[in-house]
């Protein structure tokens, strides 16, 4: 991980804005590919305002749900913490949006029943079934998440329990970043909040010219800020980011 100005001008430099805990594997793979990597997390993961009480209450009644939908690896982390605390061992069917969320569940031995090929909320809605006997869905999401998923599920006839299981906040303490010192070529944004917070923390003037987005929702936020998306990863996860940056080396 690069934490000082780039002394090796022969290597391209990329800024990663994810949390340290989420970016370790990504950073290692990018270094192995030949990048200088600068880690500047622009988000932290925190408990929601109710400190997770709503999620725990829902999990105590988990057998009442036909589906649980998990939309991020952060959501998996909080879900699994609550499940372990309460001692749940049997689960309803579980749907996810992306492969990184599926891997996070697989790593703790929880099987996923549904994941769309198009790894965005719209993709899940395209393949999610209509309700039959039990029409209850548990949807633990981040505070201020998109309203599309619960709204369309309700339109399809599902009874959706929307729970805020975590929130992303701007770090209170963070390292400085000056583009002129680090001479970075690329920056990777993995959520709308990473975009918003980077600009608030460091200013648009310190953005590298080439902005790489993890997916359409993040790209929308970049464009909303009158900025251009240089590349959008596909699939919309860490593997897509790695492939995107690998392609840029060729």
Indicate which CATH number applies to the domain containing 125: 3.40.50.10090
Closest by CA to 248, choosing from 34, 38, 37, is 34
Residues 154, 240, single domain; the answer is no
Mean pLDDT over residues 137-150, rounded?
A: 94
Closest by CA to 193, choosing from 161, 160, 166, is 166
- Within-domain flag for 6: no
For 75-107, write each residue's pLDDT tens digit. 999 999 999 999 998 999 999 998 989 999 999
Asked if omega into 235 is within 30° of 0 (cis), the reply is yes
9 band by pLDDT with thresholds 50, 70 and 90: low
In which domain, by residue range, is 205 found? 13-43+171-249
Q: Would you tell me how many other CB atoms lie within 10 Å of the CB of residue 193?
A: 20
Residue finishing a domain among 169, 190, 205: 169
For 14-32, write each residue's pLDDT tens digit. 999 999 888 999 999 999 9
Pairing of the two strands 36-39 and 67-70: unpaired
Whether residue 109 has pLDDT greater than 90: yes
Tokens standing for 142?
A: 């981040």
Q: How many independent structural domains does the chain possess?
A: 2
For 45-56, write each residue's pLDDT tens digit. 999 999 999 999
- Within-domain flag for 5: no
Mean pLDDT over residues 203-231, rounded?
A: 97
Residue 43 φ/ψ, nearest 5 degrees: -135, 155
Closest by CA to 2, choosing from 42, 41, 38, is 38
* 116 and 88 Cβ atoms separated by less than 8 Å: no
């Amino acid at each position: 991980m690069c934490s000082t100005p780039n002394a090796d001008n022969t290597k391209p430099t990329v800024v990663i804005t994810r949390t340290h805990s989420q970016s370790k594997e990504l950073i290692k793979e990018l270094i192995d590919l030949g990048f200088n990597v600068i880690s500047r997390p622009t988000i932290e993961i925190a408990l929601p305002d109710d400190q997770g009480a709503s999620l725990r209450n829902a999990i105590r009644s988990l057998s009442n749900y036909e589906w649980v939908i998990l939309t991020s690896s952060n959501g998996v982390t909080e879900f699994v913490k609550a499940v372990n605390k309460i001692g749940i061992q049997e689960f309803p069917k579980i749907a996810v949006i992306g492969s990184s969320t599926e891997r996070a569940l697989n790593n703790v031995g929880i099987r996923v029943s549904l994941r769309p090929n198009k790894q965005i909320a719209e993709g899940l809605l395209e393949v999610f079934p209509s309700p039959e006997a039990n029409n209850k869905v548990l949807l633990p999401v981040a505070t201020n998440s998109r309203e599309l998923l619960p709204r369309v599920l309700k339109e399809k006839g599902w009874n959706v329990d929307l729970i805020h299981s975590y929130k992303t906040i701007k770090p209170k303490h963070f390292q400085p970043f000056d583009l002129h010192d680090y001479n970075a070529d690329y920056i990777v944004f993995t959520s709308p909040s990473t975009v918003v917070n980077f600009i608030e923390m460091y200013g648009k003037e310190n953005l590298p010219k080439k902005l790489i987005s993890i997916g359409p929702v993040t790209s929308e936020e970049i464009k909303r800020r009158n900025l251009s998306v240089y590349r959008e990863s596909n699939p919309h996860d860490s593997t897509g980011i790695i492939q995107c940056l690998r392609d840029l080396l060729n």
